[in-house]
Amino acid sequence: MKAKCYCLMIGLASLLLLVTVIPTLAAEAGRYQALEISVGKKSEYNIFILDTKEGHMWLLETEESRVDGKLSGGLKYQGKLRPGNKAGEIIFQFGKPD
């Protein structure tokens, strides 16, 4: 009888875990968005990656070796965006015009 009780408790706990975890995972779908950026050669590419939840940005850069044609590269952190207070607000400005 105790074994059946433990099995039932484990089953209910597992069901509860699935019911709470699956919606959370589904909400994370689409969190990271990527955009391929052409850099010239067909075999070289950069990919811009944005974390739409936290605002972090990365750039995956690749480069083709002139010697053996192998790709190499790295992932560079580009910083974090901050949300604006209203549509059209400038949140970052550089090179002010004269």
What is residue 74's three-state secondary structure?
strand
> 72 and 37 share a domain?
yes
- Same domain? For 63 and 21 the reply is no
Q: Is residue 91 part of a domain?
A: no
48 and 75, same domain (yes or no): yes
Range of the domain at 13: 1-26
Compute the distance between CA of residue 79 and CA of residue 55 in angstroms, rounded to an integer.
8
Mark whether 42 and 72 lie in a shared domain.
yes
pTM of this prediction? 0.55
CA dist., res. 39 & res. 41, Å (int): 6
- Give 28-81 pLDDT, tens digit per residue: 678 999 998 877 666 677 899 999 888 899 999 888 777 887 878 899 999 998
69/41 same-domain check = yes
Residues 1 and 42 occupy one common structural domain: no
Number of folded domains that form the chain: 2
The label of the residue with tokens 């009780």 reads 5
pLDDT of residue 73: 86
Cα(50)–Cα(30) distance, integer angstroms: 10
In a domain, 39, yes or no: yes
Beta strands in 9-91 (DSSP E): 32-38, 45-51, 56-64, 71-80
The phi-psi region of residue 13 (left if phi > 0; otherwise alpha if psi is between -120 and 50; otherwise beta) is alpha
pLDDT of residue 68: 85
